[in-house]
Amino acid sequence: MGSGGEGNGDGKEQNMAAWLVSVNTLKIQPYQLPPLGPRDVRVRMKAVGICRSDVHFLKTMRCAHFVVKEPMVIGHECAGVIEEVGSEVKSLAVGDRVALETGMGCSRCRYCKGGRYNLCLEMKSFAAPPVHGSLANQLVHPAELCFKLPDNVSLEEGAMCEPLSVGIHACRRAGVGPETNVLIMGAGPIGLITMLAARAFGAAKIVITDVNDHRLSVAKSLGADEIVRVSSNMEDIDEEVIQIQKVMGADIDITVDCVGFSKTMSTALNATRAGGKVCLVGMGQNELTVPLTPAAAREVDIIGVFRYKDTWPLCIEFLRTGKINVKPLITHRYGFSQKEVEEAFEVSARGRDALKVMFNL
């Protein structure tokens, strides 16, 4: 997966991709696909979303501990149509519409064998350098990581399975259910999609916070029970915790921090009830300064989240049944020309009213 390179390949249709070549520089260039293996499929990309990590790579050539050291095809939220299947593929056929799970573990280590393949140290995932991403005309990908979409689920919705997987994995890890009141820090794309996942998991009440009024209004329209506007100032934490708890009107059982700043994590730890859980999803800062000792004295559990595992089938089922509607999150759409790729990333980086920016290839 994602192991091809620049070039024209075997003389057939030239496969083009969006290459990250340097800071703030993306170029549409040829991308030679690897040979189709017996258990692989060749997929024509139809929908690819821009993630915040894509923007981080564009702006800094790094995201968390991943560093881009040579040109890389960007993008990882994707869906498309199968155009060729390997000789041993029985579950999929040419013409099937599929959502692509982005990463594959080694299948040999203790994490893979234990069912936590997302923690595999040899994980190969779209646009996690040095592995190439999915913003391309075509890809070769393992068939087992391609999930057929029902007729009533669009390709754009299929591409949204990737960010939705983050929310679903967080809800699973934290144990969200009908008896839990959930606080979500951050009403960006991941915060909003985690809110939708928490609702689908049956959360009794959901409160969401953000510094941006527009995003809070979107959260309210998507089903948040209550919204709270907060500041970015550490000095406001105590006052905001009181406000958040008052708005919740009951104990906060689970808080999901979809931002990952010292301010948001400190608020989360202080607002969550004794014996509750705080789930850290956002990675806004590599190092956080938080009130850990008081949280430990109240036995507040801190849960980490890294990507996801075994989420695509449930994502698709939630979309098929209408328990989750991701369509309102897709705010901007672009084609696949050099100009449109550059503009799309500028809009996504700017934020404001942009939630999910989607390419239609």
Are 184 and 296 in a shared domain? yes
Q: Structural domain of residue 282, as residue ranges?
A: 167-304
Are 102 and 27 in a shared domain? yes
Torsion of CA 193, 197, 200, 204, to 10 degrees: -100
Query: What DSSP letter does each residue of 285-336 carry, written as one string?
Result: -SS----HHHHHHTT-EEEE--S-SS-HHHHHHHHHHTS---GGGEEEEE-S
Mode of pairing for the β-strands spanning 138-142 and 40-49: antiparallel
Are 39 and 84 in a shared domain? yes
- 83 part of a folded domain: yes
Q: How far apart are CA 289 and CA 266, in angstroms?
A: 8
The total of structural domains in the chain comes to: 2
Is the pLDDT assigned to residue 272 strictly greater than 50?
yes
How many Å is the Cα radius of gyration of the chain? Answer: 20
pLDDT tens column, 209-261: 999 999 999 999 999 999 999 999 999 999 999 999 999 999 999 999 999 99
55: tokens are 């923007």
pLDDT at position 2 is: 53
Write the CATH number for 245.
3.40.50.720
Tell me the pLDDT of the chain averaged across its residues.
Answer: 95
Q: Quick one: pLDDT band at residue 262, thresholds 50, 70, 90?
A: very high
Is the pLDDT assigned to residue 7 strictly greater than 90?
no
Task: Judge whether 12 and 5 are in contact, CB under 8 Å.
Answer: no
pLDDT tens column, 83-117: 999 999 999 999 999 999 999 999 999 999 999 99
CA atoms within 13 A on the CB side of 355: 23
Residue of 6 and 168 predicted with greater confidence: 168
Are 291 and 336 in a shared domain? no
pLDDT at position 8 is: 44
Write phi, then psi, for 206 (nearest 5 degrees).
Answer: -125, 125
